[in-house]
Amino acid sequence: MLIVVDPSSGVPVFRQVMDQVRFHIAGGLLKAGDELPPTRTLSAELGVNPMTISKAYNLLERDGALERRPGKPLVVAALAPEEIELEKLDQLRSHLSGAVRAAQQLSLKPGEAIKVFRQMLETDKED
Amino acid sequence: MSVLALHDIHRSFEPGIPVLDGVDLSVNAGEVVGLLGRNGAGKTTLIQIAMGMLHQQQGTVEVFGLDPHQQPVEVKRQIGFVSENQVLPAFLKVREVVELHRSLFPSWDDDMATRLVNRFGLRPGVRIKTLSKGQARQVALLCALCHRPDLLLLDEPAGGLDALARREFLETSIQALSDTGTTIVFSSHYLSDVERLADRAVMLHDAKVLIDNTIDELHESFSIALVPHRPQGTSEALLALPECLGVRVRTDAVHAVFRLDPDDACALITEKLGVTDSRCRTAGLEEMFIEIAGGER
């Protein structure tokens, strides 16, 4: 699974795991029914406390992103296409929050900030 | 259930200079606690008192509800111990050291010992004195784990090991954790190891417990504020706030650690100091440690 953690980033490790699972679901890398690695496998691979992984999994299950069936591996829950669209926007929002704060600290007008965002999006497409 | 309970521990090695000055620490079954603090902060002293290797001058210690000085054998049978300064008998072979531990602990797990010998690539016929530092530490960890202790006390277990050896040490401890739910108390200067493994961090500073919080709380509900240097008296005003853990004066700003999330910390600074252009953010343990250990309180 494509999960990496940086324990020193100041973001709790369980939250890093949750964010990446949600990102992969929104991005289509994880699809409904896909199995997640068992807690102890993932914790050993990432070199983190197994409780951290089970906390992330439990919260994702509570949020409806994952589904647990007795005696079987945890799987990605089925989401309606419109829910996935919402999730994509949610993901983008959380990635942009740092940029928004920077724009405010730099006293940029919203129009100027949006122009930069649009330019960067379009340049990236051409590459 | 409390596995380790230290209450009001006092210890000094020179009169008038306390190393531990009224320290309380309680660790529940299955918890993983990282002990932080500068060199000389008392981490080793605390662990040795818990092991019964050192007497406290005041206060009480209970390990599994027992006094480690009154019932040393019962307590030590349930503990696995590894320290950076551990000395294994240099002229014995790896096999003989393992045999020695096997004979001391009725609960010794032969399968686990074989598995770890293979995993670490240890050669049983080799003498301890010819092992590298990393291999010697692996032998110590093997001896500490294979009697399946309920409590692991690790005193700077990764000290002096290279990055890969440290990671392997960590992974082996993590496996013991998932297999048997062992309680772990470990001291470490590698703060990212503490962030990986521990549920909770306890920081000793000035002979007392300065921080005792879960790692998640430290990441989410603590923050570092960068406050520009004017007006005069900024650092004193910050230090006067009860939520401020310490300040560190830099050339153009004061850095302050707060027991508050970034939004609340910034709001408090605005309210109490009238400073509106401070910047507050969450931080990793290493940064927080440096701000606290290198600053004033």
Domains and CATH numbers, chain B: 2-87+147-215 (3.40.50.300), 221-293 (3.30.70.920)
Same domain, A111 and A72: no
Whether the predicted pLDDT of B231 surpasses 80: no
Same domain, A73 and A87: no
A28 — contact with chain B (CB < 8 Å)? no
The pLDDT value given to residue A13: 94
- Last residue of one domain, picked from the residues A41, A60, A79: A79
Whether the predicted pLDDT of B79 surpasses 90: yes
Measured CA to CA, the distance from residue B44 to residue B261 in angstroms comes to 32
A81 — contact with chain B (CB < 8 Å)? no
Average pLDDT over residues B124-144: 92
Same domain, A51 and A110: no
Q: Which residue of B has its CA nearest to A47?
A: B171
pLDDT tens across A30-57, in order?
999 999 999 988 998 898 999 999 999 9
In this structure, the strands spanning B79-83 and B253-258 are: unpaired
B231 vs B140: which has the higher pLDDT: B140
Same domain, A27 and A47: yes
Same domain, A38 and A57: yes
Q: pTM higher than 0.90 for the full model? A: no
Tokens 């009169």 appear where?
Answer: B15
Q: Which residue in B196, B221, B263 has the most chain A C-beta atoms within 10 A of its own C-beta, making it the best mutation to test that interface?
A: B196
Structure tokens at A47: 């070199």
B251 vs A13: which has the higher pLDDT: A13
The pLDDT value given to residue A126: 60
B249 vs B232: which has the higher pLDDT: B249
Same domain, A65 and A7: yes
Tally of domains within chain A: 2
Bridge partners of B258, per DSSP, are: B223, B244
Which residues in chain A touch residue B175, judged by CB atoms under 8 angstroms apart?
40, 44
Structure tokens at B8: 């009001």
Which residues in chain B touch residue A49, judged by CB atoms under 8 angstroms apart?
32, 174, 177, 196-199
Chain centroid, CA B103 distance in Å = 30
Average pLDDT over residues B16-42: 94
Domain that holds residue A124: 82-127
pLDDT tens across B250-271, in order?
888 999 999 999 999 999 999 9
The pLDDT value given to residue B23: 97
Strand ranges in chain B using DSSP code E only, listed in sequence order: 2-14, 17-28, 32-36, 58-63, 79-83, 151-155, 183-187, 200-205, 208-214, 223-228, 244-249, 253-258, 279-281
A101 — contact with chain B (CB < 8 Å)? no
- Looking at the complex, report in whole angstroms how far the Cα of residue B67 sits from the nearest Cα belonging to chain A: 29
What's the CATH number where A28 sits?
Answer: 1.10.10.10
Which residues in chain B touch residue A13, judged by CB atoms under 8 angstroms apart?
195-196, 215
The pLDDT value given to residue B26: 97
Measured CA to CA, the distance from residue A37 to residue A15 in angstroms comes to 17
The contact set of B with A (CB < 8 A) is 32, 167, 170-171, 174-175, 177-178, 191-192, 195-199, 215-216, 219-220, 279, 281-287
pLDDT tens across A112-124, in order?
999 999 999 998 7
Average pLDDT over residues B90-115: 93
Same domain, A112 and A59: no
Q: Which residue of A has its CA nearest to B283?
A: A10
Contacts of A81 (CB under 8 A, 6+ apart): none
Whether the predicted pLDDT of B130 surpasses 60: yes
Whether the predicted pLDDT of A127 surpasses 70: no
Whether the predicted pLDDT of A2 surpasses 80: yes
- Do residue A49 and residue B198 have CB atoms under 8 angstroms apart? yes
Same domain, A70 and A98: no
- Looking at the complex, report in whole angstroms how far the Cα of residue B168 sits from the nearest Cα belonging to chain A: 9
- Looking at the complex, report in whole angstroms how far the Cα of residue B222 sits from the nearest Cα belonging to chain A: 10
Average pLDDT over residues B122-150: 92
Q: Are B184 and B216 in contact (CB under 8 A)?
A: no
**Among candidates A7, A50, A51 on the partner chain, residue whose Cβ is nearest the Cβ of B192:** A7
Same domain, A42 and A89: no
Whether the predicted pLDDT of B1 surpasses 80: no
- Do residue B178 and residue A40 have CB atoms under 8 angstroms apart? yes
- Do residue B282 and residue A48 have CB atoms under 8 angstroms apart? no
pLDDT tens across B155-186, in order?
999 888 888 888 888 888 878 777 788 999 99
Q: Are B172 and B144 in contact (CB under 8 A)?
A: no
A62 vs B169: which has the higher pLDDT: A62
Which residues in chain B touch residue A7, judged by CB atoms under 8 angstroms apart?
192, 195-196, 284
Same domain, A27 and A52: yes
A16 — contact with chain B (CB < 8 Å)? no
Q: Are B88 and B129 in contact (CB under 8 A)?
A: no
Measured CA to CA, the distance from residue B291 to residue B278 in angstroms comes to 16
Q: At what angle do helices A110-126 and A81-105 cross, to 10 degrees?
A: 120
Same domain, A67 and A110: no
Same domain, A15 and A74: yes
The pLDDT value given to residue A1: 64
Strand ranges in A1-127 using DSSP code E only, listed in sequence order: 66-67, 75-76
